[in-house]
Amino acid sequence: MIVETWFVPQPNDEMGHYRLLTGYDDARRAFLSADSYEGPGVAVPFDELDRLWRAFNRTYVVLYPRSGRPRSRPHRCRSG
């Protein structure tokens, strides 16, 4: 799944940024992402991703193979 988030790589350098979420780690309470800016295998804490994602109304795109169907129907993620 690709999510659009707020991103601040350096002070006064703020922008929208897409992240490819590749999984999650409940023990670490983090999503795993392949990030075009920060590299592969980046762990983003659940709360931090939610805060950064909220800036774009939790916009996301679900990806799946052309030959297959999605394993679940897209739904809006809600926190709390």
Q: What is the predicted pLDDT for the residue at 63?
A: 80
Q: Residue 28: how many CB atoms within 10 A of its CB?
A: 11
- Does residue 79 fall inside a structural domain? no
- pTM beyond 0.75: the answer is no
For the chain, the domain total comes to 1
pLDDT in tens, 2-52: 999 998 888 888 888 899 999 999 999 999 998 888 888 899 999 999 999
Name the residue range of residue 25's domain. 2-61
Question: pLDDT at residue 74 above 90?
Answer: no
- Does residue 18 fall inside a structural domain? yes
**What is the rounded CA–CA span in Å between residue 16 and residue 59?**
11
- Does residue 26 fall inside a structural domain? yes
- Does residue 75 fall inside a structural domain? no
Parallel, antiparallel or unpaired: strands 30-35 and 39-45: antiparallel
Of 16, 10, 18, the C-alpha closest to 61 is 18
Of 73, 71, 74, the C-alpha closest to 3 is 74
